[in-house]
Amino acid sequence: MHLVAPSLLAADFRRLDQAIEFINESEADWFHLDVMDGNFVPNISFGQLVIEQVAKDATKYLDVHLMIDQPGRYIESFAKAGANGITVHAEATNHLHRVVQQIKAAGCKAGVALNPHTPVSVLEDIIEDLDLVLIMSVNPGFGGQKFIYRSLAKIRQAYDMIAIRNSPAIIEVDGGVGLQNAQKVLEAGARVLVAGSAVFKAEDPAKVVRQLKAISGNPMAQV
């Protein structure tokens, strides 16, 4: 079964407690937390202190996506803040293998994210070590962008690489994901749907989560 991970970046931070309660009580599977530093991406979001507060009330997996330069400096602090999984960008470090091992040593699941322009081939030497591959289907930094449909080919490429190399990794897709494209994303091989604006800007967010959960996809990717 595929997973749905609402992105708190799209929530109303004046009512963050309500957003946390909503995810806890909905059919969503994970919390997705986008950390931005204003350097690697042209925006600043939140850091360890907010994640620590979310972790106090969250009853589900905390999926932390670091859109920051030199992420290796901060792995331990995000793990201590309550992250269950930490994903770093391949483009943000010159020592990707080392950072992935840091994540695992900190007791978290390790993921690597790829920006739209980054080929899947950069994962060739590390795919067996990963728990998650995050395909960015928009240019990172801001919510509410349109899905880049060329990302479907990258999802399929990542899926094939994972299968051929017998990697434990699952594929997550983030950026412009909603009811209009979720089935195609799942059929391409994704297992986790990150949905921000599609959920939190909807009139009935809980209904959107239920609808996303009900969509059928690639049965081989849902194991």
- Please give the sequence-ordered ranges of beta strands (E in DSSP) within the chain, or none if there are none: 3-6, 30-36, 61-67, 85-89, 109-114, 132-136, 170-174, 192-195
Active-site pick, 29, 34, 63, 131: 34
Active-site pick, 37, 69, 174, 204: 174
| C-beta atoms surrounding 142 within 10 Å | 13
Q: Which pLDDT band holds residue 43 (cuts at 50, 70, 90)? A: confident
- Record the pTM: 0.94
pLDDT tens digits for range 194-208: 999 999 999 999 999
- How many domains does the chain fold into? 1
- Amino acid 130 reads L
Q: Which pLDDT band holds residue 145 (cuts at 50, 70, 90)? A: confident
Q: Which pLDDT band holds residue 217 (cuts at 50, 70, 90)? A: low
Q: Is 69 helix (H, G, I), strand (E, B) or coil?
A: coil
Q: In this predicted structure, what is the pLDDT of residue 134?
A: 98
Q: Which pLDDT band holds residue 20 (cuts at 50, 70, 90)? A: very high
What range does the domain containing 188 cover?
3-222
Backbone phi and psi for residue 128, each to the nearest 5 degrees, phi listed first: -70, -20
C-alpha to C-alpha distance for 48 and 185, rounded to whole angstroms: 30
Q: Is 174 a catalytic residue?
A: yes
pLDDT tens digits for range 101-137: 999 999 999 999 999 999 999 999 999 999 999 999 9
- CATH value at residue 90: 3.20.20.70
Q: Is 34 a catalytic residue?
A: yes
Length reported for the chain = 223
